[in-house]
Each structure stands twice: as structure tokens, then as C-alpha cells.
Structure 1
Amino acid sequence: MKQLALQEASQALHEESRTEVDIIDFYNQATEDYKFWSNDFNMHFGYFNPLKTNPFRRDQMLNEMNRQVLNRLHLPNKGLMADLGCGMGGSMRYALKKNENLSTIGVTLSEFQVDEGNKLLKGLKGLILKENYNKTSFISNSCDAAIAMESFCHSGHDKSSFVEAHRILKQNGRLVIADAFLKKEPQELCRGGFYAYKNLCDHWSLPKLGTIHNTIVDLKNVGFKNIEVEDVSFKVAPSVLHVPFAIVGFMLKKLWKNRTLKKESLHNLKGSFYALLSSLHMKSFGYYLITCTK
């Protein structure tokens, strides 16, 4: 029994390491492609607000998502915000330009994102570190707020991500998660839903997606309180509908320049397509904004 347990633990560790390597390779090679998706390198979907955004202007909706997330943080005039899985720091730059007294720190596994993201943050009070958001070097109780925008999915919405977010936050500090979740267990998905889910995970290097129910339970067990869950799928849908046009436009641009598509770019494009396909299964998938307090 002991030998079997050791084998299982070793296999789990190997799977975790392989997934992390896949994520690093994916983002090191494909991040520059996101310039086509967003001029500000916002590596997430957008939020349609009829009073503030034009559904035909993608960057406007992407920055509106940044605004919606920041509004839920109730940030003090002066403080430290952590971006757990910050990509190129698009959300950090947005926050810093809106609040000059704010400081931000972000983490990513991609060396490319660290180097290029810190160049974009030059002159602003922000820094990106090459770290795993499940095991940061941040001092406990040091951050006033934290965000995770479509990043915790890369840990499969594992409880360890919530534990680390809780550790680094000050008392009464807020965490806002913006991400897609399953509404039911994978084995309960219909055939089409499971097909879209499997391919989405494969092409975007996701170990899995958590269910919204289990995520709420995990957040409570970790110690978060005042958990507010908003299904914003319909608000996000207009930006998701940009996906097929972005894919076609990106491919035509590459072909026009006589450049072949990198393997990582192809995976990114296919993952985007399956994200669109998944969004059509509204009984199985949803996009949520989750706000909670330490």
C-alpha cells in the first residue's frame, strides 16, 4: 500500500510538472499573438456594458472587464494589488493608470511575459515576477487586494490557488476571480459539451475547469467570506463572438506576410474556437465574476 501511494504521488507530481511546462511553452511562444486580440495585451474576454461599450470594439470591452473587476475590489486610495497570473500585465497597467497611488505586483510562469511585460510597465509602480501563483514569495498579509483573470483555470481552479491568495491578503482584503467554470461535473456533460471541453483544455494547456459549486465550497473552506457569485455569461458573450473573426483575421495576416503559423499559435487559435463552442452549451459552462473577502 505504501509503495502504491508513493507511485501515485510521484505520478501526480509528474503530471503537475508536465502541465506547468506546457503552460510555460505555450505562453512563451504564443503571447505575441495576443497583440492581434488586444492592443493593450489584455489576455482575457471582455464585458459588454450598453452604457459604456460598443460591441464592435473589442478593446473597449476588454478594458471594461478590467474596470468591472477593479470596481469590485473596493481598493483604498493607496495600497498594493496582486495580479495572480498577470500575463503581460494589461490589467495591472489599466489599474495603475486609473489610480496613480496604487502599486501592483504580478506573477507569471512565462519568462517572455516577465521581460516584455516589465518593459510595458516602465514608469509605472508595477512589477512582474516569474513565479507560480500557487507558491509566491509574497509576505503573508501583505496585499490589499488580488485579482485572477482567466488564470486560475491553469491550475484547474485547484484549492491551492485559493489558499495562496488567502495567505497573501490582508484582513478584509478582497479577491476577484474572472473566469469560465463548469456548471456540472465533466462526466455529466452531454457529448457535444464534453467534446468542446476536452479540446478547450487540450489546446489551452488546462488540466481541467473547476465547477462553480465546488469552487464556492473551496473558497469557504479556505476561509473566505462574503462570497458573491455573478454569472456574467451574457455580458461576456459579445466579446466571445469576436473569436471567429479574430481567428480568420490573424491567419490572413500571417499568410499575407508569408509567415507560417507556429504550433503554439495554432493551439491558441483552436483553443479560442473551442471556447466559443463551449459558450454555446450554456447549461454546462458559464463565465463568472467571484468576489470574496478574507
Structure 2
Amino acid sequence: METDTIIQPTDVDLHHTTTTALYYSTIKNYYNIAGPDYEAWSKDFNMHFGYCKKFSDIFSLEKMLYRMNDEVLERLQIPANKATAIVDLGCGVGTVARYAAKQYPCATITGVTIVDFQLNKGRELIHKEGLDKKVTLVKDNFEGSHFANESFDRAYALESACHANGSNKQLVIKDLAKILKTGGQFCIADGFLKHDKKLPWLFEKIYKKIIACWALPCFGNINEFTATLEKYGLQNIKVEEISLRIAPSVAYVPYTCVKFFITELWKNKSLKMKKERWNNVYGPLLGMILGLYHRHFGYYIISGNK
């Protein structure tokens, strides 16, 4: 099933002032303009940080990126020989969805995005890899999707829940709880603030710049987030901080930025770029500094079931 109609949230209890058409427009503009540049980070468009499982992983960024895909998918406990419907909430160009389709032959994956570039590029890659019958991308909003209740056996969000509104990310959790079948597993991997106390001046300054660069309303608060999962009936919640596991992939950011600038100069003889493309460079560089504030910020994998 494919639809290009975006369903906007109708809830009145939104937790952030940017929950408007303008906010969604900002996200779409960012990824439509800067989205192609993610190929500099990953030739396969893995639009997230990687997971370092063993020492040898540090020598290959792409290997760590796929390790992260494995970590998320393994926590979903996808059966090998049973038809399983999976939803990717904030799918990018469907790289994780395509990977899942290859790893789990009985699974079908539906990816959700509001970004035209991601939709078009993703469908192109799906067709190129012969996965049209296993992976579908739809243009929809994970804060109030069109899917019927209990449509999916599994659900995941890999570095996309940060784009949801509010520090508790209530709307995306509410939607996840609605479309996930009873007994279904979920997994979310993302960066989170560790508390709601006053932040150090420099951290707060960097934090505000990062959310502006990456078109985020805010990062989630891990305590509020887990409480909201429980509020909507999700259970057996396991919270794992993996900040040190992703650090080796974050270390590739400076090298990637230098490579990107050299390529841009070679191709266009100029570094004149739109704001969104510059923000896509600033964001990861500032993120390296943000990650040093372990008391205030961490990277987590949260899993459980309905």
C-alpha cells in the first residue's frame, strides 16, 4: 500500500510550540536539501551512528553502521520462519528496512517518512534490489499515522524519534502503541537527555545549536520517555545506555567532513551551499562535543513489548 497523503497529528495536548505545519516543513526542507549528502557518511545511506561490538569494528564505519542495524533488529526478536509485519518509524531512504528484508525472509517492512527525497530515493533502491514485494515506503507522519490499530507485529525507530515533538515524545509513542499488535516487540535507538535539571551554559548553547542544525524540536528526556512508554501500555521495558559503543563511529565525523568538503570543492569548485547542507556538517561536529557531557546526555537503546 502506498499513499502520498500526510496525516497530521490532531491531538491538542502537544508538548512543544513547534508542532505546526511550519515545523514539519522545516524537517522536509532539511532532508530534501541535505539528504543526498548522507551518502558521504554511508555509501548505503545508513543515516545513523554505528555500534562497535568488537575492537576490529573500529576500522570500518560501514560495518559499525550495519552492526547498529543488527542490534535494533535483534531486540525485536523477529521469528525466522513466520510471516512478520514490521514498521520502520522514520525510515530515511529505507536502508534498515531493506537490510531487514534480506536478513528475515518471512518479514515484510513498511517504512514511514514525510520527506519526498527519502520516499523517491528509497523506492528507487528498493526496486533496484528487487525488494518491491517485501519493502514498502509510505508518506505519512509517525505522530499520527493512517494505519489501523494493531497493524504490525514489530516496530522500530532508529535515530528518528528525536524528530517527534516534546521531551516525552508522546505522540510517536501513542502511535506506536496503537499500531503495534498485543505481544509485539518494539525497539528505539536515539540520543536522550538524562534529566530535566539546569544544564551547563556551554552544553545548553551547543545543544540548542544542534537541534537547530538537525531540524529537531528537542531531544527526548530518557526518564519522561520511559514513563510515557508505560503510560501507553508498553511493558518489559529495557533501557540500555550504549554511548561508549557508538563513540568509535562518532570519531569518523571529522574525517567524513573533510572528505565531504574535498569532494564538494572538486565537483563544484566552491563551498557555497544552502544552509541545510552546512547544518548537516555542523550538527555531527557539535554532537561530538555534546557526547562528552556524559552526566547530561547519552545514547540509548530502549526495547520492550505491548
TM-score range, shorter chain: over 0.9
Match of 1:4 in 2: none
The correspondence for 1:64, drawn from 61, 67, 74, is: 67
**Matched ranges for 1:7-86 at <5 A:** 15-50=19-54, 54-77=57-80, 78-86=83-91
Q: 1:143 aligns with which of 138, 148, 152?
A: 152
Q: 1:89 and 2:94 equivalent?
A: yes
Q: Give the superposition deviation at 1:15.
A: 4.5
Bigger drift between 163-172 and 252-261 goes to 252-261
Q: Which of 90-99 and 150-159 deviates more? A: 150-159
Q: Secondary structure at the match of 2:190?
A: strand
Does structure 1 retain, via aligned residues, the 8 Å contact 2:48–2:65?
yes
8 Å CA contact retained: 1:181, 1:288: yes
Unaligned runs of 5+ residues in structure 1 are 1-7
In 2, the alpha carbon distance for the partners of 1:224 and 1:9 equals 20
Pairwise mapping of residues 1-294 of structure 1 onto structure 2 (< 5 A)? 15-50=19-54, 54-77=57-80, 78-122=83-127, 123-124=130-131, 125-156=134-165, 157-185=168-196, 188-257=198-267, 258-259=269-270, 260-294=272-306
CA RMSD of aligned residues (A): 1.8
Q: For residues 279 and 169 of structure 2, what CA distance do their matches in structure 1 show?
A: 23
Shift of 1:158: 1.7
Aligned residues with identical type, % of pairs: 37
Distance in 1 (alpha carbons) for counterparts of 2:285 and 2:23: 21
Query: Where in structure 1 do 4 or more consecutive aligned residues deviate above 3 Å?
Result: 12-15
Give me the whole-angstrom Cα distance separating, in 2, the residues matched to 1:14 and 1:271. 19
CA deviations 1:23-53 (Å, max 9, x no partner) are 00000111110111011111000000107x5
Q: Distance in 1 between matches of 2:199 and 2:292?
A: 13
Q: Residues 78 and 104 of structure 2 are in contact (CA less than 8 Å); yes or no, is this contact kept in structure 1?
A: no
* Residues in 2 aligned to 1:18 and 1:170: alpha-carbon distance in whole angstroms: 33
Tell me the number of residue pairs that the alignment of Structure 1 and Structure 2 aligns.
285
Tell me the SS of whatever aligns to 1:135: coil
Unaligned runs of 5+ in 2: 1-11
- 3-state DSSP of counterpart to 1:205: coil
SS of residue matched to 1:116: helix
Looking at structure 2, the residues matched to 194 and 67 of structure 1 have their Cα atoms a distance apart, in angstroms, of 33
Report what 2:9 is aligned to.
none
**Paired residue type of 2:289:** L
The one-character-per-residue Cα deviations of 1:197-247 (angstroms, maximum 9, x if unpaired) are 111111101111121111111110011000000000000110111111111
The separation in 1 between residues aligned to 2:20 and 2:104, in whole angstroms, is 37
Given the two structures, how large is their TM-score scaled by the length of structure 2? 0.89
8 Å Cα contact 2:113/2:119 also seen in 1: yes
Letter in 2 for 1:291: S
For the residues of structure 2 that align with 1:118 and 1:40, how far apart are their CA atoms? 14
CA contact (8 A) 2:18 2:217 kept: no
Q: How far does residue 195 in structure 1 lie from its aligned partner after superposition?
A: 1.4
1:9 CA drift (Å): 8.8
TM-score, length-scaled by structure 1: 0.93
Shift of residue 191 of structure 1? Answer: 1.1
Whether contact under 8 Å (1:180, 1:287) holds in the other structure is: yes
